[in-house]
Amino acid sequence: GFLKANLRFTRFSVRGKSKVENEMGLALMAVNLRKFTAAN
């Protein structure tokens, strides 16, 4: 829900498992950075 609602991340823009894993990693890193900056 959070990725869709707040980051507007609804689909991958790449094809292939390794590229999707990279893109998902970037999206989750953005979520973690938001949480980190909100906590500090």
**Residues 5-36 pLDDT 10s:** 988 999 999 999 999 999 999 999 999 999 99
- The answer, yes or no, to whether residue 40 has pLDDT greater than 90, is no
Residues 6+ apart with CB under 8 A from 27: 3, 7, 9
Rounded to two decimals, the pTM is 0.79
Residue 20's pLDDT is 97
| Containing structural domain, residue 10 | 2-39
Please tell me whether residue 20 adopts helix, strand or coil conformation: helix
pLDDT band at 1 (very low <50, low <70, confident <90, very high): confident
Which comes out higher in pLDDT, residue 12 or 40? 12
Domain count across the chain: 1
Q: Which two tokens stand for residue 16?
A: 């292939």
